[in-house]
Structure 1
Amino acid sequence: MENVNWIALVVAALSTLVIGFLWYGPLFGKAWMKETGMTEEKAKQGSMPLRFGLSVILAFFAVFFIYANSVITGGMPPDELHGMDVSKYHTFGHGVVHGISCALFIAMPVLVTNALFEQKSFKYMLINVGYWIVTFAIMGGIVNAWM
């Protein structure tokens, strides 16, 4: 763990705020609010710094998992990772693939299962799962490119 690029992990975790601002703002904000029953007044209740702070901490956990599974070993012994020359796989695009894989095989099943039992709409599921697919892709790209 001595070669961890902590700056890349922090930037990747903070990227969730930018993506979230766009995703739940101008892109899908109105649809998301309709699907959740959220109002402008309700959204302003509570501590925004606490929400944002905790969300960045949780994003850091997620990005560290992506880092550990895609950059360190890719889930395989280091000498078997994509053959012997692993440097050509340390690209933004390759990280995106690992991020999307994490979103599809970890985040999506959890989010959809919860939404099914909460009797949420398919549109609600698409908005939230879509956010995490894009977010994990960007986080994976950042940490993989900054090796």
Structure 2
Amino acid sequence: MMHINYWAVFTAALIPLMLGFLWYHPKVFGKIWMQEVGLTDAQMKGAMAGVFVFTVILSFLMGFFLQYVTIHQFGAVGMIGGDEMNANPSYHAFMKDYGTAYRSLGHGALHSLMAGVLFVFPIMAINAMFERKSWKYTMINTGYWTLCITIMGGIICGWHDVKHFYW
């Protein structure tokens, strides 16, 4: 039976905030990013609590979606319309045999990395082209989000339940 692991999703939702503190630090990509966006240090200072809270909420939504990208068993549940109680015996046999197949940090990270390269990058690049932003800007933001969802997907896929985390 497929259960949503809210602890894994919530933990993964903290990754963009934590990684953002590092990625956009002035000694990493922060100064370059601010220059590309046209922001000053003064503009960056101020009340950020709302931004941080909303970042976690939106990241939770991303983590919720990443379950379906990284955990293949959700596809089996979808094939039966989500009602496991009325599924054919073949579904239950399948889930007994393959219920934890490919449930690892590495597998989740791989699928999320692919989503970053094949989905996030094109979206960021298209937006940046229309906004007349540089490729530097595009690569800084794409790299950040690709790394974020790679880590998030690994956590979500590898953490089967509150007691177990599979590498």
Pair in the same fold by TM > 0.5 = yes
Cα distance, 1:72 vs structure 2: 5.1
Cα distance, 1:69 vs structure 2: 2.6
Q: Which runs of 5+ in 2 are unaligned?
A: 78-90, 161-167
Letter in 2 for 1:13: A
Is the aligned partner of 1:42 residue 2:56?
no
Output the TM-score relative to the length of structure 2: 0.77
Output the TM-score relative to the length of structure 1: 0.86
CA RMSD, Structure 1 to Structure 2 (Å)? 2.1
**Structure 1 vs Structure 2: percent identity of aligned residues?**
38
Label 1:49 to 1:72 Cα distance change in 2 as closer, same or farther (>3 A).
Answer: farther
Instruction: Decide whether the 8 Å contact of 1:66 with 1:98 is kept in 2.
Output: no
Is the aligned partner of 1:121 residue 2:145?
no
Is the aligned partner of 1:19 residue 2:19?
yes
Task: Write out per-residue CA displacement over residues 113-136 of structure 1, whole angstroms, 9 at most, x where no aligned residue.
Answer: 110011101100000000011000
Is the aligned partner of 1:71 residue 2:71?
yes
Look up the SS of the partner of 2:119 in the other structure: helix
- Equivalent position of 2:109 in the other structure: 96
Give the total of aligned pairs: 142
Letter in 2 for 1:92: L
- For the pair shown, the structure with the greater C-alpha radius of gyration is 2
